[in-house]
Amino acid sequence: MNSITANEKIEIQSQDGVSSRITLFRNDCEEAIVIICMPAMGVWASYYEPVARTLQLSGRHVVTADLRGNGESQIRPKRGCDFGYYEMVHYDWPAVVTEASRLFPRSQKVLLGHSLGGQLSTLYMSANPGEIDALIQVACPSVHYRGWPLPYSLRLLLMTQTFRLISGLLGYFPGKRIGFAGTEAKTHITDWAHTTLTGRYEPKNATEAYEKRLPSLNAPILSISFSDDPFAPKKAVERLLAKFPSAQITHWHLAPGQVGLDSLGHVAWVKKSEPLVAKMSGWLKQVVE
């Protein structure tokens, strides 16, 4: 029988010297798979404790990690402290995955990425084939503006390009004051706005051609999207999945009633994840367990 154990905080350091702490939710079975949860933009890892606990009780180890500049990360975006997608994918994802492998050397590894966390996970996997056994994406679209119908597509384009200008002027993005995401790094917002405009993942400073690597990503991918999520509509999610023709893709576009709930949304699903974890478990048993 699976049981709840106290979570553990473990300090990690990325290769460029930035430190953070991950949170570990151990399962009783040492050889259980380990699910590594990567957050959405502006959402701290601590928010995901309910889904981590549910996954833990379902028979898995779980690791939650913050995006650079958030939560347990030891740096904060400001003028003169800048980073973007490349620094997160090239330095932070490997640090988290390496620590998970050290803790559970005989366990298969699954990335669970929410929104931006799912997008960046595909970049990491495309550049590091074989490191991850499967990927679960939740509410994870391509942010290319063409994935939204008019007039929302133009609003998204205007918003992201305006945020890019604000970030350039201030040297960082004051999301908490504006009311969108958190305090984010200038290049983080620049990378996001670039993908919204072009549909391509071409992070500033990158030494990897991620966009060219994505078609060769060959792994099982489960994408879960919700009918009541305006930030990840079905068409936008499908545009992202179309970048991975070599992957083994399963896509569930769920209405809340299909899992016995009144709402799911872009972030609220985390607080009521039991029916989603039950469905994920069936998929995991088919592909990696």
Listed by start position, the domains of the chain span: 8-143+207-287
pLDDT score of 5: 64
pLDDT score of 18: 98
pLDDT score of 135: 99
pLDDT score of 26: 95
pLDDT score of 289: 84
Using 70 as the pLDDT threshold, list the residues of the chain that sit under it: 1-6
DSSP state string for the chain: -------EEEEEE-TTS-EEEEEEE--S-TTS-EEEEEPPTT--GGGGHHHHHHHHHTT-EEEE-PPTTSTT-S---BTTB---HHHIIIIIHHHHHHHHHHH-TTS-EEEEEETHHHHHHHHHHHHSTTS-SEEEEES-----GGGS-TTHHHHHHHHHHHHHHHHHHHSEEEHHHHTSSSEEEHHHHHHHHHHHHHS----TT-SS-HHHHGGG--SEEEEEEETT-TTS-HHHHHHHHTT-TTSEEEEEEE-GGGGT-S--TTTGGGGG-HHHHHHHHHHHHHHT-
Name the CATH topology of 8-143+207-287.
Rossmann fold (3.40.50)
pLDDT score of 282: 96
pLDDT score of 6: 65
